[in-house]
Amino acid sequence: MRSKIALLFFVGLFVNGLFIAPYIRDTNETGAFDGLGLWVAIAHGLGGALAGWLMAGSFGRAGIGGWIISLFAVITIILLGGLAGGVMIAVQGMITAGDTVLQAGIRGIIGALAAPVAMANLPGLWLLPPVLTVLAHLLAQRQTASPE
């Protein structure tokens, strides 16, 4: 079950990262796209997979309380996934561009806040948490009802 939930959140945060990327996209001197936007989407997807795998036990509980726990788990996963993605981007910046640890920490915090900021700018992204909540909760309930 953990791997399926991790894959779900990889896809969810990867798609979210694709919407975030234009806001933080870098260009080189000629104005050409240098690939940072795709790296942002991949890093957020990997962060979402890690956070989803760690919090997979929060899904599939019975009753309204289970749904509430699932919703809070999704919000936490989105924030932790963004933080992990921001840290991955920061480490890459430290290795390639010689960024300091302070700059890396700031990028990690910005990564954690990227999804909520993108949701504020793109109202359609507000559908992401409820959709992920329903999919993860139903997947976990189905998996619990018939373990493989």
Q: Is 123 exposed, middle or buried (0-12, 13-18, 19+ CB in 10 A)?
A: exposed
- Per-residue pLDDT, 82: 81
Residues 113-143 pLDDT 10s:
777 777 777 777 788 888 888 888 888 888 7
Alpha-carbon gap, residue 26 to 116, rounded angstroms: 21
Residues 23-38 pLDDT 10s:
555 544 444 445 666 7
| Domain definitions of the chain by residue range | 2-145
Q: At what angle do helices 63-96 and 101-121 cross, to 10 degrees?
A: 130
Residue 146's CB is within 10 A of a number of other CB atoms, namely 6
- 3-state secondary structure at position 107: helix
Q: What percent of the chain shows pLDDT beyond 70?
A: 84
Give the mean model confidence (pLDDT) for residues 63-87: 85
